[in-house]
Amino acid sequence: MFCLSTRAGGLGLNLQSADTVIIFDSDWNPQMDQQAEDHAHRIGQKKEVLVFVLVSVGSIEEEIMERAKQKKGIDAKVIEAGLFNNTSTGNDRKEMLQKIIRRSTKSLGTDVPSERDQPPCSPIRRGILAL
């Protein structure tokens, strides 16, 4: 067994002899987890690699995983869709990003309190400003 944090395991290591990856400290950036996972999928790997992601129920880890899923969705819609492959124009990219933002704001529920409804120092306002 070889234990590493996601950040340390995602940099400069080739772990092609590992056949199991257990991510127990997911990163806010899903690409860091993906990179750490990919170090077991190197040339020379002879076994099927199993990947487990551990998440505690009712903890901040659930929120981290949800945000990571949203970020991967944006990546799939924008980066992998070819909008940042040097063939699209600045206007194409701007239009696509505006579409994604419009779609995201439409999906917000009505139970989300408005920033204007909160006093300047309330936790909800600080949370919105921190985003």
pLDDT in tens, 29-55: 888 888 878 877 777 778 888 888 888
Considering the entire predicted model, what is its pTM? 0.52
The pLDDT of residue 47: 84
Unique residue bearing structure tokens 């917000």: 108
Rounded Cα–Cα distance for residues 60 and 55 (Å): 9
- d(Cα 114, Cα 89) in Å, to the nearest integer? 35
- Residues 69-84 pLDDT 10s: 888 887 777 776 665 6
What is the spatial distance between Cα 112 and Cα 122, in angstroms, rounded to a whole number?
Answer: 14
DSSP letter for 21, please: E
Q: Is the predicted pLDDT of residue 65 greater than 60, yes or no?
A: yes
pLDDT score recorded for residue 38: 80
What residue type is 131 in one-letter code?
Answer: L
CA separation, residue 28 to residues 38, 50, 65, 92 (Å): 17, 22, 8, 28
